[in-house]
Amino acid sequence: MVVGWIRGHYETQKAALRGLWANKRQLAFQALNLAMICFSALMIWKGIMFLTHSESPVVVVLSGSMEPAFQRGDILFLSNLDAPVEVGEIVVFKVAGRDIPIVHRVLRVHERGLVTRESAPPPVSPLSMVAAVVPANDTAGSVVFLTKGDNNAIDDRNLYAPGQLWLRRTEILGVARASLPYVGMVTILLNDYPILKFVLVGLMGLFVLTSKEG
C-alpha cells in the first residue's frame, strides 16, 4: 500500500514536471517563487543574527557532553548581547582550528590582573599551576573564561587552540537562552549522511516548482 502511494505520488510529480517544462512561462514563475522563498529565509536569518548579535543564533547540540542539561539533538537559541557572561551560564564558542562550535558551561571567569579564589584554577597539575597566565594580546582588565561540559571529567583546555588556557569573549558566539528538545536530530542525520541533504533540498525544490497556485 505504501509502495503504491509512493509510486503514484512519483508519477504525479513526474507528469507535473513535464508539463512545467513544456510551459516556459510557468517554469520561470515557479523558479521565481523558489528564489523568493530562499531569499526570504536568508533575510529572516540575517534579521535574527542582527537582533541577537550572534553569527549563529540557533545551534544544534551534537554530542552528549552537556547531559543531562541538554541531549544530543536539542536546538539552542542564543543571545550574544553585551551583558556579562557569568559562571554557570551555558555558552557556545568557537576557537581557532575548529570548524564546529562547542556547547559547554562556564566554569570560571577570570579578569587579568585580578586572581580570586573563584578565578584561580585548581592546583591539580602542572598545567593548572600556570593556568592563571592570560594570553599576551589580552589587555589588562579583559575578562576570559574557562568552560567545561557537564558530562566531562575535565575542563576544556584541551579543546582550545594550542597553548591557549582561557577562552576570550570574542570566541563566544552566544549564551543559551532557550531550547527545543530533539528537534535538531534532523540536522544530525543530514550531517552524518550528506547525501540526504541533496535529496531533501532536491525534493523541496521539486515540490515548490510543481506546486499549483490556488
Residue 192 designated active-site? no
DSSP 6-62: HHHHHHHHHHHHHHHHH-HHHHHHHHHHHHHHHHHHHHHHHHHHHHHT-S-SEEE--
d(CA 92, CA 101): 6
* 122 phi and psi angles, rounded to 5 deg: -70, 135
Residue 155 designated active-site? no
Q: Specify the DSSP element, H or E, that contains 191.
A: helix 185-192
Q: Exactly one of 65, 74, 110, 119 is catalytic; which is it?
A: 65
Q: Exactly one of 74, 119, 155, 156 is catalytic; which is it?
A: 156
What is the distance of C-alpha 206 from the center of its chain?
27
Residue 156 designated active-site? yes
Q: Exactly one of 54, 74, 104, 155 is catalytic; which is it?
A: 104
Q: Specify the DSSP element, H or E, that contains 148.
A: strand 143-148
- Measure the CA angle with vertex 87, ends 58 and 47; round to 5°: 25
DSSP 68-129: TTS-TT-EEEEE--SSPP-TT-EEEE--TT-SS-EEEEEEEEEETTB--TTTSPPSSSHHHH
Do residues 17 and 210 lie in contact, with contact meaning Cβ atoms separated by under 8 Å? Answer: yes
Do residues 148 and 105 lie in contact, with contact meaning Cβ atoms separated by under 8 Å? Answer: yes
Annotated catalytic sites, by residue? 65, 104, 156
